[in-house]
Structure formats: C-alpha cells, structure tokens
C-alpha cells in the first residue's frame, strides 16, 4: 500500500507491551512518517510522544489507541486535522465518533494497525 503517508498514533504508550508502542515501532520499520500523542512524554522508535495537542499538518491516518470513554474530549481535535482516515483498533470502537466522522466526510475503519501492516493492507 502507500508508504510515507503521515500517521498519528493517538494514545501512544512508552510501555513496550502496549499495542500502540508495537504499532509505532512497526510503522517506522515500514517506512511511514509517524507522529504521536500520549499521556506520558517520551520517545519510541525515534518518535517523540507529544503530551499536548499539536496542529499536525498533512495527517493521512489517525490510528486510535484510546478507550472510547476518553475519546469524546478529542473528537474536534482529531477531525480538525482532516485525516483521510481514522483506524479504530480493537477496543476503541465508538459508534458516536463513527457518526461524527461520517458526517465530516472522514473515512474510518475498525481494524488492527498491526494486522494491516503485517498483511500489506495499510
């Protein structure tokens, strides 16, 4: 699939056993440009995890690793980035957000970023 499209890992973790951490590493190893937002500042695979919302430009994909109960505070921010798509990883599915994204014309899919990368469907 396409490479070098900017991906925002939203809900990034410094913990190497977390899926968001694995995704950061895998995205980098597949040649993607990655930015990250999380609760704790740090660095994973050479990517700085930002703890404040930044006006990233040219974001192709937002891959979500945040519990649906916590997503509502970030709906406007994520949509303001005008990504081409939002990936809802397992456990992040959110019907309310699906509706808002659809109305805004932003594609979304319920999928696992790690599986998409592993099967060359990212």
**What domains lie within the chain, and their CATH numbers?**
6-118 (3.40.50.720)
Residues with Cβ within 8 Å of residue 77, at least 6 apart in sequence? 53
Q: How confident is the model at residue 54 (pLDDT cuts 50, 70, 90)?
A: very high
Residue 81 pLDDT class (50, 70, 90 cuts): very high
Q: Are 73 and 82 in contact (CB under 8 A)?
A: no
CA distance to 34, 91, 103, per residue, from 94 (Å): 23, 9, 14
pLDDT on residue 85:
97
**What's the rounded Cα separation, in Å, for the pair 81 and 25?**
23
Task: Retrieve residue 101's tokens.
Answer: 């994204």
Assign 51 a pLDDT band (cuts: 50, 70, 90): very high
CA dist 44 and 50 (Å) reads 11
| Degrees to nearest 5, angle at CA 114 with 111 and 120 | 90
Mean pLDDT on 21-46:
96
Residue with the two structure tokens 């599915």? 93
If pLDDT is split at 50, 70 and 90, which confidence band does 3 have?
Answer: low
Asked if the model's pLDDT at residue 4 lies above 90, the reply is no
Q: Average pLDDT, whole number, for the chain?
A: 95
Which residues, other chains included, contact 74 with Cβ-Cβ below 8 Å and sequence gap of 6+?
10, 53, 66
pLDDT of residue 1: 44
User: Which tokens hold the place of 52?
Assistant: 């404040």
């Amino acid at each position: 699939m396409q490479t070098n499209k900017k991906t925002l890992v939203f809900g990034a973790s410094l913990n190497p056993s977390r899926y968001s951490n694995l995704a950061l590493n895998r995205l980098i190893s597949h040649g993607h440009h990655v930015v990250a937002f999380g609760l704790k500042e740090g660095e994973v695979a050479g990517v700085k995890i930002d703890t404040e919302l930044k006006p990233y430009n040219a974001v192709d994909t937002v891959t979500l690793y945040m519990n649906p109960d916590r997503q509502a505070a970030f709906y406007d921010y994520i949509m303001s980035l005008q990504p081409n798509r939002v990936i809802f990883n397992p456990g992040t599915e959110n019907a309310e957000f699906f509706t808002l994204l659809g109305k805004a014309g932003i594609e979304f899919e319920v999928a696992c970023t790690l599986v998409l990368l592993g099967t060359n469907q990212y």
